């Protein structure tokens, strides 16, 4: 793999230079396909359509989003055996951080770290998959059938993967979802529900103590109740296997609270939005029911992912552990404190885990980066895994 360092560095730099925020990934996807076409593999553009908006698991609806003409990219390399392994990662990135003026000007430092928006989440992962595809395509035939799913819209709930898998009826034998895990094997991945609630009150002058109702205070009271519910969930879940020892593996995040337009006017409307994580001992339906009761208004739940869990004795987990041992990287099983597209494969009956280079700690940040060496190491690990599973 190390002979491919130059190819990897060039592909990563070129992908990072193309802005690809959610819903605007096409230019980057076209660039990727152009490079993959040079490998003499068949790249299948799997079209999306606006029908996805009516799917019960569609997430985070945005005004004006059009899916007609957009697509995911799938490459399949047939294998000698009857087993099938999928690799999945996403091209979309979150917007630049405040004051990150050079987000799409990739920079390679003297230690071999590439800096830019999307470096580790998840264009570095895309490059790992591309490198695997390059190596296996040169062999002409792999042991297992390998499925490479390059998708869009992961950052707003996984609509790309949802669309890609919607027509697939037969489960695969394994999925490795490439995400920044610090090269650790994540066999448990927490779930999450995003909520968006608007509270109504009765606006008026601050001097009118009996004729006003503050929507902002309603929202603040709801936050207090959400914190109590989160504490209850955390107490029930704190010692769940692999998550045990993590101080807060399923945080409650209040991401937005908007109300009022004048200091002396009681707000008549307030909008509250956030996300609540949960572990595999809970499910999205029970969490949504509890949130709906707490919020007490017609809330929207814009992102609804159950947790992903793979038994650590499963052949997928064991094969990844053996590959990690061979490459002398951590082989212990861990839990991921973010949700991923792996849930869609699991719900189709495909055993799933997450693995990849880069760190979740610097994803979505001004200092987002990934080490070229870790991309090569991840590809080598997955090459070994794919040959032994």
Q: Which of the residue ranges 138-142, 264-268, 365-369 would you say has the lowest mean pLDDT? A: 138-142
Mean pLDDT of 206-225: 94
Provide the token pair at 10. 């060039």
Which ranges constitute the DSSP H helices of the chain?
5-16, 26-37, 124-139, 159-166, 215-237, 284-295, 315-327, 342-346, 372-388
Residue 83's CB is within 10 A of a number of other CB atoms, namely 16
Give residue 141's pLDDT: 75
Token representation of residue 210 = 């009996």
The DSSP H or E segment spanning 304 is strand 300-305
- Cα separation of 2 and 9, whole Å? 11
The dihedral over CA atoms of 83, 155, 29, 134, expressed in degrees to the nearest 10, equals -40
Split at pLDDT 50, 70, 90, the class of 184 is very high
The dihedral sign for the CA sequence 226, 95, 113, 154: positive
- Measured from the Cβ of residue 29, the count of other Cβ atoms closer than 10 Å reads 24
pLDDT above 80 for 140: no
pLDDT average, residue stretch 368-389 = 97
What's the confidence (pLDDT) of residue 1?
79
Q: Is the pLDDT of residue 168 over 90?
A: no
CB 3 within 8 A of CB 114: no
Q: What pLDDT score was predicted for residue 331? A: 97
Q: What integer pLDDT is reported at residue 278 of this predicted model?
A: 96
Kindly tell me if the per-residue pLDDT of 245 is higher than 90.
Answer: no
- Which residues are paired to 254 by β-bridges? 274
The confidence score (pLDDT) of residue 99 equals 85
Q: Please say whether the beta carbons of 164 and 46 come within 8 A.
A: yes
**Cα angle at 214 between 210 and 216, to 5 degrees?**
165
The count of C-alpha atoms lying within 13 angstroms of the C-alpha of 365, restricted to the half-sphere facing its C-beta, is 11
What is the mean pLDDT of the segment spanning 85-92?
Answer: 98
Q: What is the pTM of this model?
A: 0.94
Task: Supply the mean pLDDT for the chain.
Answer: 95
Domains, the chain, in order of start with CATH, read 2-189+307-388 (3.40.630.10), 193-305 (3.30.70.360)
Per-residue confidence (pLDDT) for residue 24, from 0 to 100 = 95
The average pLDDT across 313-333 equals 97
Average pLDDT of the residues in 314-337: 97
**Which range, of 65-69, 72-76, 327-331, averages the lowest pLDDT?**
65-69
- 188-213 pLDDT per residue, tens: 999 999 999 999 999 999 888 788 99
**DSSP count for the chain of H helices, then E strands:** 9, 18
Do 91 and 16 meet the contact criterion of CB atoms below 8 Å apart? no
- Mean pLDDT, rounded, for 296-303: 93
Give residue 169's pLDDT.
67
Look-up: residue for tokens 């080598």?
Answer: 380
As given in the structure block, the two tokens for residue 383 are: 């090459």
CA distance 2 to 375: 10
In the chain, the percentage of residues whose pLDDT exceeds 70 is 99
Which helix (H) or strand (E) covers residue 277, if one does? strand 269-278
DSSP-assigned letter for residue 50: G
Closest-CA residue to 377 (of 183, 127, 156, 122): 183
pLDDT at 63: 78
Whether 82 shows a pLDDT value over 90: the answer reads: no
Place 265 in a pLDDT band, splitting at 50, 70 and 90: very high
pLDDT at 329 exceeding the cut of 80: yes
Per mean pLDDT, which range of 16-25, 54-63, 154-163 is the poorest? 54-63
Is residue 69's pLDDT more than 70? yes
Percent of the chain residues topping a pLDDT of 90: 90
């Amino acid at each position: 793999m190390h002979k491919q360092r130059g190819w990897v560095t060039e592909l990563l730099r070129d992908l990072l230079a193309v802005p690809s925020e959610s819903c605007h990934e096409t230019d980057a996807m076209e660039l990727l396909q152009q490079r993959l076409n040079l490998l003499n593999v068949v790249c299948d553009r799997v079209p999306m359509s606006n029908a996805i908006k009516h799917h019960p698991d569609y997430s985070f609806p945005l005004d004006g989003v059009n899916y007609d003409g957009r697509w995911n990219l799938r490459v399949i390399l047939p294998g000698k055996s009857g087993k099938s392994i999928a690799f999945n990662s996403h091209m979309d990135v979150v917007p630049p951080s405040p004051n990150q003026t050079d987000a799409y000007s990739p920079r390679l430092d003297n230690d071999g770290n590439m800096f830019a928006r999307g470096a580790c989440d998840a264009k570095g992962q895309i490059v790992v998959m591309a490198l695997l595809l390059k190596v296996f395509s040169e062999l002409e035939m792999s042991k297992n059938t390998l499925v490479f799913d390059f998708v869009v819209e992961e950052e707003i709930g996984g609509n790309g993967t949802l669309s890609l898998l919607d027509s697939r009826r037969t489960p695969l034998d394994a999925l490795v979802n490439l995400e920044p895990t610090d090269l650790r094997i994540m066999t448990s991945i927490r779930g999450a529900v995003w909520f968006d609630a608007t509270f109504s009150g009765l606006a008026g002058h601050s001097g009118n103590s009996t004729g006003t109702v503050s929507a902002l205070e309603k929202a603040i009271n709801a936050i207090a109740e959400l914190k109590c519910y989160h504490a209850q969930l955390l107490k029930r879940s704190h010692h769940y296997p692999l998550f045990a020892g993590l101080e807060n593996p399923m945080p409650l995040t209040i991401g937005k609270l908007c109300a009022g337009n004048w200091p002396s006017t009681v707000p008549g409307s307030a909008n509250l939005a956030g996300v609540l994580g949960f572990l595999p001992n809970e499910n999205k339906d029970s969490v949504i029911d509890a949130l709906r009761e707490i919020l007490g208004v017609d809330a929207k739940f814009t992102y609804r992912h159950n947790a992903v869990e793979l038994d650590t004795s499963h052949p997928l987990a064991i094969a990844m552990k053996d590959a990690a041992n061979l490459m002398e990287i951590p082989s212990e099983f861990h839990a991921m404190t973010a949700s991923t597209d792996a849930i869609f494969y699991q719900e189709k009956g495909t055993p799933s885990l997450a693995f990849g280079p880069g760190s979740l700690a610097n994803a979505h940040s001004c200092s987002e980066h990934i080490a070229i060496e870790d991309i090569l190491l991840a590809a080598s690990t997955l090459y070994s895994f794919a040959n032994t599973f």
